[in-house]
């Protein structure tokens, strides 16, 4: 099941890349497409941030991950590199669990 | 230009380390993790798939989220279409390399030849180091006893935040991000894991279409 999902997702992502190079420009230059597509990652990434921070299964929870996110926000504001943002969040969660 | 391409490759390689680690901690096998980097080769989508799986969502919800995040690559393709080789296997190969980094490097060059060189140099450098970083991150995480003790469950939201931040430079995306976060949390208790993301995607698509009319 995992493999099927992984491979279908890979094929879909490749199809989207190829569609951009292959479809007539008029289809993808439609103002509705141009306006909407860039908003999708903003909404999805924001939804991923909050759901993966404030929930476990179907329950809303407030735990060390919230503190880790706060540290990540500070790291992003300080323009830290990607790996530093991720590592500082993980380290925060690990340290708080030790206490 | 080649040096720039290598620099971007090294930066994305470092970021692939965290992908390899997060994917492994989410429960994907070494082979599945590496397959994602070789075959999907678009960072945000890969992080989304393993993030949803790691949060006990179904792999299909993760796959749908990955595809939705991959939709922006289609728009990059439109911008690159006139710059890259036409037809045949080179176009099919070029499509695989249509991602944020190669697009940014290829557009705004003085000539088509320079654009092509920038595209292929960046694509090859990023592809090589992205896969190398993934493999190292995954192998290192396999060797660890319990990823949760190391705070690996707090890593995916930080990764998504780092991917989101550069897109928030205006008021509208900021408002959309806040709205999307609230909607996702409100529906989370009532629908299967991963589905709040799809609800958010549908709502933002409706918003975008309505806004582009007015």
Q: Do B95 and A60 touch (CB under 8 A)?
A: no
For A59-98, write each residue's pLDDT tens digit: 999 999 999 999 999 999 999 999 999 999 999 999 999 9
DSSP character string of B107-175:
SS-SSHHHHHHHHHHHHHHHHHHHHHHHHHHHHHHHT-S-GGGGTGGGHHHHHHHHHHGGG--SHHHHH
Place of tokens 């509208």: B172
* Cβ within 8 Å, pair A20-B178: no
**Beta carbons of B157 and A48 less than 8 Å apart:** yes
Which value does ipTM take for this structure?
Answer: 0.94
pLDDT in tens, B24-74: 999 999 999 999 999 999 999 999 999 999 998 899 999 999 999 999 999
Of B151, B164, B205, the CB nearest to A68: B151
pTM summary value: 0.91
Q: What is the pLDDT of residue A24?
A: 82
- Rounded average pLDDT over A19-48: 90
Minimum-distance CB partner of A16 among B51, B71, B197: B71
- CB < 8 Å from B in window 2-61 of A: 2-10, 12-14, 16-23, 25, 28-29, 31-55, 57-60
Contact criterion met (CB < 8 Å) for A41 and B91: no
């Amino acid at each position: 099941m995992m493999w099927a999902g992984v491979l279908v997702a890979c094929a879909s992502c490749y199809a989207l890349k190829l569609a951009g190079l292959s479809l007539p420009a008029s289809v993808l230059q439609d103002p509705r497409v141009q306006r909407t597509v860039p908003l999708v990652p903003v909404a999805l990434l924001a939804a991923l941030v909050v759901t993966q921070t404030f929930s476990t299964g179907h329950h809303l929870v407030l735990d060390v991950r919230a503190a880790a996110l706060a540290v990540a926000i500070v790291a992003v504001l300080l323009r830290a590199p990607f790996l530093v943002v991720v590592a500082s969040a993980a380290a925060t969660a690990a340290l708080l669990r030790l206490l | 230009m080649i040096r720039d391409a290598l620099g971007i490759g090294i930066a994305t390689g470092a970021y692939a380390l965290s992908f390899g680690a997060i994917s492994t901690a989410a429960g994907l096998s070494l082979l599945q993790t590496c397959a994602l980097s070789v075959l999907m080769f678009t960072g945000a989508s890969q992080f989304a798939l393993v993030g949803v799986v790691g949060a006990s969502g179904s792999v299909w919800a993760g796959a749908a989220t990955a595809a939705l995040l991959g939709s922006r690559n289609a728009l990059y393709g439109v911008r690159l279409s006139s710059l890259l080789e036409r037809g045949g296997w080179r176009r099919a190969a070029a499509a695989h390399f249509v991602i944020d980094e190669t697009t940014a490097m290829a557009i705004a060059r003085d000539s088509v030849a320079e654009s092509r060189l920038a595209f292929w140099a960046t694509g090859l450098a990023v592809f090589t180091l992205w896969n190398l970083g993934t493999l190292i991150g995954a192998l290192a995480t396999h060797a660890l006893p319990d990823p949760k003790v190391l705070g690996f469950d707090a890593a995916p939201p930080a990764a998504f935040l780092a991917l989101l931040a550069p897109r928030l430079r205006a008021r509208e995306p900021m408002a959309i991000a806040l709205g999307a976060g609230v909607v996702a949390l409100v529906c989370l208790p009532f629908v299967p894991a991963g589905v709040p993301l799809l609800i958010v995607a549908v709502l933002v698509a409706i918003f975008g279409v309505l806004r582009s009319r007015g």
